[in-house]
């Protein structure tokens, strides 16, 4: 066997396993790019949609699931399930909210991730992972359970925000869930260990083009419909205003000026030392406003104090009941709650809160992803007002906002590079899928002219 043949034999081709549908079969409440993605994803059978917040992943997954015969199950974060049922109703698609396996009906069913082990997945023809970044952890129990139990389901769809450009493991986990290639196969084919650290991988220089071509064969990536050649003018976001508000703390150890915290432990100590000052600054801003506010915390004690300092605010904690969490998040969506206080890890994923354009971070973790997702609950396509984000810090924490903005710029630069690597292939795949091909059915038998029949 020649070496080229050997390499070709190792390459895994992503073969379409779904079916074609006519344009008029797809839900008519979709934008053109959503319509085309649904058609492409159904033909693929197993695929992922990585799209910016507010681009309509919920409608895409509902329209996709509506075209699958048999039972379909959507897994979603807490409260997002109820939100999805409402959105389905708006576009004429019925979604059955389930708590147990006995609740399942023919058609589209939806439940929360924390209830997934209560369901027998062998009965489903299709499965959807809403906010599928839950697959990110390579050793996570949820990730492993989903991959193992969904292997025999013929139709699979993952929907989440565009992943971090250098988070190759998230792409690998999605690929493994969809049955395209296992994470280890992906690493062996396209990556190399980065020096002596086996936990870090980098793309082989000669494999960069092949890697992104492979990703584009099973995933759509976009931050705006214009990435795929559609009109994206209505998806331009309003201005984002980020303001750092410093509170003064008492200097320790006889220092004349506040000493900036450098290490993780020092930053955590600085946040504990400035707790009451930061909470007071937050309460002053919110209590002098009549608008809706989202308040993000990092510590339970921050959340408790803020809830006590702002009359009428509702606190959502990790140890609250699922019913309280759901009712609070839905209540905020419906403007029944003016001020919602929680952590990004609890309420920072999946919810559509464009009705609110003000938020405060009273405490920040060191996770840029959590910050990014929390901001985009409000700063997302569909938002009509400028979004105001306050970051309240101690004077010892340094230029926190400047650091956030630097990370944001770096992230966006890498993100657009990733989109550029796949957009031509992806756009071509989608356009090719949506191109109408009409078969000609002859109704009249053709007769050759007499002059052609001579000598035959």
Position 453 in a domain = no
User: 114-135, pLDDT tens digit by residue?
Assistant: 999 999 999 999 999 999 988 8
Give residue 271's pLDDT band: very low, low, confident or very high (50, 70, 90): confident
Residue ending a domain, among 213, 233, 253, is: 233
In the predicted model, what is the mean pLDDT of residues 267-287? 87
* CATH classification at residue 89: 3.40.50.10810
- Residue range of the domain that includes 325: 237-405
Name which residue leads in pLDDT, 146 or 411: 146
Q: Could you tell me if 246 and 197 lie in one domain? A: no
The whole-number pLDDT of residue 166 equals 65
Q: Mean pLDDT across the stretch 281-285?
A: 97
Mean pLDDT of 15-37: 92
For position 162, what pLDDT does the model report?
A: 74
Mean pLDDT of 184-212: 80
Instruction: Tell whether 263 and 223 lie within a shared domain.
Output: no
**Count of C-beta atoms within a 10 Å radius of residue 198:** 8
pLDDT digit string, tens, across residues 329-353: 999 999 999 999 999 989 988 899 9
- Whether 431 is covered by a domain: the verdict is no
pLDDT in the model for residue 421: 77
Residues 289 and 220 occupy one common structural domain: no
pLDDT at 299: 87
- Same domain, residue pair 305 and 371: yes
Token reading at 442 = 């002859």
**pLDDT exceeds 80 at position 260:** no
How many independent structural domains does the chain possess? 2
Q: Give the Cα separation of 364 and 244 in Å (integer).
A: 12
Asked if residue 425 is part of any domain, the answer here is no
Question: Final residue of a domain: which of 233, 257, 276?
Answer: 233
pLDDT tier, 450 (very low <50, low <70, confident <90, very high otherwise): low
User: Of the candidates 363, 386, 405, which is a domain's last residue?
Assistant: 405
| Same domain for 194 and 119 | yes
Same domain for 172 and 192, yes or no, is: yes
Is 151 domain-assigned?
yes
Q: How many residues does the chain have?
A: 456
Residue 413 lies in a domain: no
Predicted local confidence at residue 436, as pLDDT: 43
Say yes or no: 284 and 346 in one domain.
yes
pLDDT at 368: 81
Residues 170 and 317 both lie in one domain: no
**CATH of residue 282:** 3.40.50.300
Do 124 and 271 share a domain, yes or no? no
228 and 241 share one domain: no
pLDDT at 3: 46
Distance CA 215, CA 297 (A): 36
Answer whether residue 441 is part of any domain: no
215 & 123 share domain? yes
The answer to whether residue 283 scores a pLDDT higher than 50 is yes
What digits encode the pLDDT tens for the residues 206-256?
Answer: 888 888 889 989 999 898 999 888 999 989 999 999 998 988 876 544 454
- Identify the band that residue 453 occupies on the pLDDT scale cut at 50, 70 and 90: low
Q: Is residue 188 domain-resident?
A: yes
Q: Are residues 148 and 197 in the same domain?
A: yes
Model confidence over 431-440: pLDDT tens digits?
A: 776 544 434 4
Q: Cα–Cα distances in Å, from 157 out to 102, 130, 189, 303, 438?
A: 23, 9, 24, 36, 28
Domain membership flag for residue 416 = no
Residue 7, pLDDT > 50, answer: no
pLDDT value at residue 254: 47
Both tokens assigned to 207: 């494999």
Nearest to 87 by CA among 71, 63, 52, 115: 63
- Residue 168 pLDDT class (50, 70, 90 cuts): confident
Tokens 């900036």 correspond to 260
Q: What is the 3-state secondary structure (H, E, C) of 309-338?
A: HCCCCEECCCCCCHHHHHHHHHHHHCCCCC
Average pLDDT over the chain reads 85
Q: Does residue 200 contact residue 193 with C-beta atoms inside 8 Å?
A: yes
């Amino acid at each position: 066997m020649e070496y080229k043949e050997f390499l070709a034999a190792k390459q895994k081709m992503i073969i379409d396993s779904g079916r074609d549908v006519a344009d008029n079969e797809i839900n008519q409440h979709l934008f053109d790019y959503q319509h085309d993605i649904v058609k492409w994803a159904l033909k693929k059978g197993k695929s992922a949609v990585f799209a910016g917040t507010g681009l309509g992943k919920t409608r895409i997954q509902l329209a996709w699931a509506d075209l699958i015969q048999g039972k379909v199950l959507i897994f979603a974060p807490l409260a997002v399930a109820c939100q999805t049922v409402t959105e389905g109703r708006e576009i004429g698609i019925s979604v059955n909210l389930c708590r147990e396996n006995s609740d399942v009906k023919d058609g589209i069913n939806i439940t929360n991730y924390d209830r997934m082990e209560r369901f027998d997945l062998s009965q489903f023809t299709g499965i959807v992972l809403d906010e599928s970044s839950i697959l990110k952890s390579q050793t996570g129990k949820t990730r492993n359970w989903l991959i193992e139990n969904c292997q025999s389901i013929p139709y699979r769809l993952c929907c989440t925000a565009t992943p971090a450009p250098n988070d190759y493991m998230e792409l690998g986990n999605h690929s493994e869930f969809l049955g395209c290639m296992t994470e280890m196969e992906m690493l062996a084919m396209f990556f190399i260990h980065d020096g002596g650290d086996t936990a870090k991988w980098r793309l082989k220089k000669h494999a960069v083009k092949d890697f992104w071509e492979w990703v584009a064969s099973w995933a759509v990536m976009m931050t705006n419909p214009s990435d795929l050649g559609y009109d994206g003018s209505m998806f331009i976001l309003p201005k984002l205003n980020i303001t750092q508000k410093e509170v003064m703390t008492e200097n320790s150890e006889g220092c004349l000026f506040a000493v900036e915290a450098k290490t993780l432990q020092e930053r955590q100590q600085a946040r504990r030392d400035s707790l009451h000052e930061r909470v007071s600054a937050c309460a002053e801003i919110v209590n002098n406003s009549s608008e809706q506010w989202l308040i993000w915390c990092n510590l339970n004690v921050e959340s408790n104090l803020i809830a006590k300092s702002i009359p009428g605010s509702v606190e959502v904690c990790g140890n609250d009941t699922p019913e309280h969490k759901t009712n609070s998040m839905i209540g905020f969506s419906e403007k029944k709650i003016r001020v919602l206080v929680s952590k990004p890890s609890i309420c920072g994923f999946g919810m559509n809160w464009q009705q609110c354009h003000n938020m405060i971070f009273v405490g920040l973790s060191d996770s840029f992803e959590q910050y990014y997702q929390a901001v985009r609950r409000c700063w997302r396509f569909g938002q009509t007002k400028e979004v105001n984000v306050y970051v309240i810090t101690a004077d010892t924490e340094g230029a926190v906002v400047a650091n956030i903005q630097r990370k944001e710029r770096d992230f966006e630069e890498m993100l657009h590079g990733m989109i550029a690597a796949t957009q031509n292939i992806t756009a071509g795949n989608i356009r090719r899928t949506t191109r109408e091909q009409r078969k000609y059915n002859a109704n009249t038998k053709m007769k050759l002219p007499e002059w052609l029949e001579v000598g035959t």
